[in-house]
Chains A and B, each alone.
Chain A
Amino acid sequence: GAVVSQHPSRVICKSGTSVKIECRSLDFQATTMFWYRQFPKQSLMLMATSNEGSKATYEQGVEKDKFLINHASLTLSTLTVTSAHPEDSSFYICSARVGAGVNEKLFFGSGTQLSVL
């Protein structure tokens, strides 16, 4: 299957710093990538949909100025958490969509555990 590489896998940072998370599709071109956040024992919550060459579409309640998404190429999407605070500590994960309809599949990165001190 398709491979999505996400790094770093774990980040510990001080409050107020910015953190960039990268998500790469290794053997295919990903026109659309999704960014999710997951708090412990909760569901994956879609933060934004990232489309190559255009602005990301953010879900309601997600601050676009705080969570900057860049999808400058068909193989790379980045999420930058700006001025991170302890409440931003979470598991962030990207995915790339391949196919459509009943043949649609999501391939996930391995996730980034962010801990803000």
Chain B
Amino acid sequence: RKEVEQDPGPFNVPEGATVAFNCTYSNSASQSFFWYRQDCRKEPKLLMSVYSSGNEDGRFTAQLNRASQYISLLIRDSKLSDSATYLCVVNNPGGYNKLIFGAGTRLAVHP
């Protein structure tokens, strides 16, 4: 089983749509969770951290379910500029507390 699993997509949605991405992780000891955004052949950029109580940043809402080891990202009112790959990232608390990246979910927003 992969440490972090995501649906690769692509998700093709029209502007204004609401889209949700899911992610599962295997290490129950993980404590830090993030969503990153990556454009083609560019470096990943932090979209938001994911807190236990869930958190919202504008059109983006992240949720964490520790019991199910599941993280979600909801994007409301999709914009063309939201088109990118969204990476679910989870820490592995052993050793250097490294971050493990999911393979990403591709989103394509069309007019």
Which residues from chain A sit less than 8 Å from chain B, CB to CB?
Answer: 32, 34, 36, 41-46, 49, 51, 57, 91, 93, 100-102, 104-106, 108-111, 113
Contacts A32-B96, A46-B99, A111-B43 known; 19 new A-B pairs at CB < 8 A: A34-B98, A34-B99, A36-B101, A41-B8, A43-B87, A43-B102, A43-B103, A44-B101, A45-B101, A49-B95, A57-B95, A57-B96, A91-B41, A102-B51, A104-B32, A105-B46, A108-B45, A109-B43, A111-B42
Shortest Cβ gap from A88 to chain B (Å): 17
User: Using Cβ atoms and an 8 Å threshold, which residues of chain A touch B43?
Assistant: 93, 108-111
Of the A-B pairs whose beta carbons lie under 8 Å apart in the complex, a sample of 12, sorted by A's number, is: A32-B96, A44-B44, A44-B87, A51-B96, A93-B43, A101-B31, A104-B97, A105-B46, A106-B44, A106-B46, A108-B44, A111-B41
Residues of B in contact (CB 8 Å), total: 24
Shortest Cβ gap from B81 to chain A (Å): 19
